[in-house]
Amino acid sequence: MRGDGRLFKRGEAWWIALYVDGKQQRESARTTDRSKAEKYLQRRRNEARAHELNPVMPFITRKQNKRTVEQVMEALSAHFEAEGQLRTPVKCTIDKVTAKFGARRATSLTAAEVNAWIAERREAGDKNATINRATQLLKQAYKAVKLPLPGPETIIRLEENNAREGFFTDPEIRRVIARLPDYLADFALFGWSTGMRRGEIASLRWSDIEDGCIELRGKYAKTGKPRSIPLVGEIAELIERRKVARPVEDIFHLDDKLIF
């Protein structure tokens, strides 16, 4: 019957063919016995119908079943690179996951193995947040290539303590700034006053100043979301100092120049 798939032979072995999501899938039944091949076709047909009724239920193709964890992580890396998001920390984390599980077939990796690796990393002194970023990228890679996550149990997510320590008091930051070269003093003071990250501050241009605010563009923000910094008090004075400190040649081409 149409839609039930079919059997055909290649040499002595039986193969099956059926349509899933509008595409024909062909794969070996790995047998020369027709009755066994029919049972295999029936199982794969049931999996295809379950997937069509509920897309959350995966239908793993022959090609997907052959993929290694290394290939899955490479696919994620290529996606990040195409989006301009393959930063060094992300690449290093992907490399760590690949080094541990890269040779494994992705569909055979279990949550128990991943959880055992999590325990290893904790014993080695890795922070919970660092480990969570690694397992998060692993899950993201599986979803990107439409493979079910390693199971049957759940991959552990460790509790993170995001409370930061070691903030400078006002007198402390003043003592530090007093000992910095001129080209770094305002940069450091701006970071301390606003809480912006180094890369965010380094991206700021004079064209980002609008209506008494500095507008951090989303593509330069760690969160990916734009935000505004009001130019008031000491920050306003700081920006005025930067204007005075501009090279003469920048005055006529101000908008495309960096503030710091």
Angle at 66 between CA 33 and CA 90, to 5 degrees: 165
Predicted confidence band of residue 232 (pLDDT cuts 50, 70, 90): confident
C-alpha separations of 5 from 2, 148, 181 in Å: 7, 24, 74
| pLDDT at residue 1 greater than cutoff 60 | no
Cα 252 from Cα 222, distance rounded (Å)? 31
Residues 78-112 have pLDDT tens digits of 988 887 777 888 889 999 999 999 999 998 899 99
Q: Which residue has the tokens 């004079």?
A: 206
Q: How far is CA 30 from the centre of its chain?
A: 37
| pLDDT at residue 57 greater than cutoff 90 | no
**Which pLDDT belongs to residue 247?**
73
Do the beta carbons of residue 73 and residue 102 sit within 8 Å?
A: yes
Domains of the chain: 6-59 (no CATH), 65-144 (1.10.150), 170-253 (no CATH)
Mean pLDDT of 229-246: 87
